[in-house]
Amino acid sequence: MELQRLFNLCFFVSFFLMTTAFEGVRGSSHHRHHHRHHPEEHDDDHQLYGIPPRKLFVFGDSYSDTGNNRKSQAYSWRFPYGITFPGKPAGRFSDGRVLTDYLAKFWGVKSPIPYKWRKYGGKKLENGMNFAHGGTGVFNTLVMDPNMTTQIDLFQNLVNDAVFTGMDLKSSLALVTLAGNDYTSYYVRGGTLEGSQAFIGLVISQLASNLKRIHEMGVKKVVVTALEPVGCLPRSTSRSSFQQCNVTQNNAVNFHNLLLQRAVEKLNNESKDFQFHILDLYSSFTNVLKNKGDYLGNLKFDTPLKPCCIGIKAGYSCGDIDEKGVKMYSICDKPESSFFWDEVHPTQAGWHAVYLALQASLEQI
């Protein structure tokens, strides 16, 4: 059986998931960059259905979260996060802009307001809403924040209350990110290697159900990210002094992405309108890292696997301080020359390079 053979190549999946996935989208309580091309500089607003999309609705984890995590818990609200944009910690897991910001501009809308700040949104609600929470997954994970199903429930409540109308949804887009927190939770809670293949299937099945539900609510186009090459995240590459990716871990990612591809193909066949799309973060990350920058040559990353912000001792990460209030991390001189910001999240420059690598496929959505 094809899937079984692929999974057998990924027997190491438990190691990969336990050591990298949750760090990639965490929202736990412990533990400068300026480039020439910002989202504002992209003038060609992408249009859907012959008109600009009215709103963007976002669901997922820290790769798309722009401020929903609790200030008392998340690294995204600690210095030095946000030092590039907006100049202080603002809830993004980066030094500046993240994937959501770049895709919103591409699709012709402003980055939508986080659900957390909805009561203060006013006219900002015209751009849609971001329900993503760092550290979450399709199931309950290791953080006390809403999983994807609950995020969609929050969305449904707003639709029921007529905050967003059917016409709003009809010409809107949904962005869904999933970067691996479910898998870490599975192993921390006693999951076994023998059961991991079935669990990956459950994750993809639940993800597909979520995508279908968003579409059936009236959002015509639903875009979901493939899993990034976690073997290239600094948390993994630190074992080689940030010199090479972990090939076995990246092979494991391929199993998840294969199932996701098949699930999306099935959704498109069932819906008859082919409105489900995958954003290939695996290929875009890999291409940027291989080329040490974007394909235009405007962004250069001399040591792409090494993070800009890193703990100075074992057990410490970017943003950590000790019991005396002394910072236990260091920051590189030029964040714009680093692809990764911390152990798992790209810098603003990194996300910009990924965005540029995705542009050709974005044009097809």
Q: What is the mean pLDDT of the chain?
A: 87
Among 42-51, 177-186, 195-204, 209-218, the range scoring the smallest mean pLDDT is: 42-51
Mean pLDDT, to the nearest integer, of 59-67?
Answer: 97
Whether 14 has a pLDDT exceeding 70, the answer reads: no
Under DSSP, is residue 244 helix (H, G, I), strand (E, B) or coil? coil
Whether 160 has a pLDDT exceeding 60, the answer reads: yes
Task: Mark whether 280 is an active-site residue.
Answer: no
The 3-class secondary structure across 169-204, one letter per residue, is: HHCCEEEECCCCHHHHHHHHCCCCHHHHHHHHHHHH
C-alpha–C-alpha distance, residues 272 and 247, integer Å: 37
Q: Model confidence at 5, in pLDDT bands (50, 70, 90)?
A: low
Mean pLDDT, to the nearest integer, of 205-222?
Answer: 96
Mean pLDDT, to the nearest integer, of 340-349?
Answer: 97
Mean pLDDT, to the nearest integer, of 166-182?
Answer: 93
Whether 98 has a pLDDT exceeding 80, the answer reads: yes
Structure tokens at 284: 């875009």
Return the closest-CA partner of residue 92 out of 108, 118, 111.
Answer: 111
What pLDDT score does 290 carry? 94
Whether 246 has a pLDDT exceeding 50, the answer reads: yes
Cβ burial, residue 78 (10 Å; 0-12/13-18/19+):
middle
Name every residue whose Cβ is closer than 8 Å to that of residue 140 and which is 6 or more positions away in sequence. 147, 185
Mean pLDDT, to the nearest integer, of 259-273?
Answer: 94
The 3-class secondary structure across 68-128, one letter per residue, is: CCCCCCCHHHCCCCCCCCCCCCCCECCCCCCHHHHHHHHCCCCCCEEHHHHHHCHHHHHHE
What pLDDT score does 193 carry? 75
Query: By percentage, how much of the chain surpasses pLDDT 70?
Result: 86
| Bigger pLDDT: 44 vs 182 | 182
Task: Mark whether 133 is an active-site residue.
Answer: no
Mean pLDDT, to the nearest integer, of 313-333?
Answer: 95
C-alpha–C-alpha distance, residues 252 and 237, integer Å: 16
Mean pLDDT, to the nearest integer, of 217-231?
Answer: 94
Classify residue 67 by its DSSP letter: S
**Whether the Cβ atoms of residue 189 and residue 140 lie closer than 8 Å to each other:** no
Alpha carbon dihedral 303, 306, 312, 314, in 10-degree steps, equals -140
Whether 38 has a pLDDT exceeding 70, the answer reads: no
Whether 355 has a pLDDT exceeding 90, the answer reads: yes
What pLDDT score does 35 carry? 40
Choosing from 33, 256, 345, 352, which is the catalytic residue? Answer: 345
Whether 217 has a pLDDT exceeding 50, the answer reads: yes
Choosing from 62, 64, 196, 338, which is the catalytic residue? Answer: 62
Chain mean position to CA 243: 24
Mean pLDDT, to the nearest integer, of 25-52?
Answer: 44
User: How many beta carbons lie within 10 A of that of residue 40, not counting itself?
Assistant: 10
CA distances from 185 to 14, 43, 50, 236, 255 (A): 11, 41, 43, 18, 18
C-alpha–C-alpha distance, residues 49 and 47, integer Å: 7
C-alpha–C-alpha distance, residues 174 and 148, integer Å: 13
DSSP string, 273-303: S--EEEE-HHHHHHHHHHHTB-TTSSSB-SS
Choosing from 101, 280, 320, 342, which is the catalytic residue? Answer: 342
What pLDDT score does 20 carry? 42
For the whole model, what pTM was predicted? Answer: 0.88
E strand or H helix at 27: none
Q: Model confidence at 52, in pLDDT bands (50, 70, 90)?
A: low
User: Any idea how long the chain is?
Assistant: 365
Whether 49 has a pLDDT exceeding 60, the answer reads: no
C-alpha neighbours within 13 Å on the C-beta side of residue 224: 27
What pLDDT score does 51 carry? 60
User: How many beta carbons lie within 10 A of that of residue 147, not counting itself?
Assistant: 22
Whether 22 has a pLDDT exceeding 70, the answer reads: no
Task: Mark whether 95 is an active-site residue.
Answer: no
Whether 25 has a pLDDT exceeding 50, the answer reads: no
Whether 42 has a pLDDT exceeding 60, the answer reads: no
Whether 180 has a pLDDT exceeding 50, the answer reads: yes
Return the closest-CA partner of residue 129 out of 56, 70, 67, 62.
Answer: 56
Torsion-angle region of 135 (φ positive above 0: left; ψ -120 to 50: alpha; else: beta): left
What pLDDT score does 337 carry? 95
What pLDDT score does 192 carry? 85
**Whether the Cβ atoms of residue 26 and residue 75 lie closer than 8 Å to each other:** yes
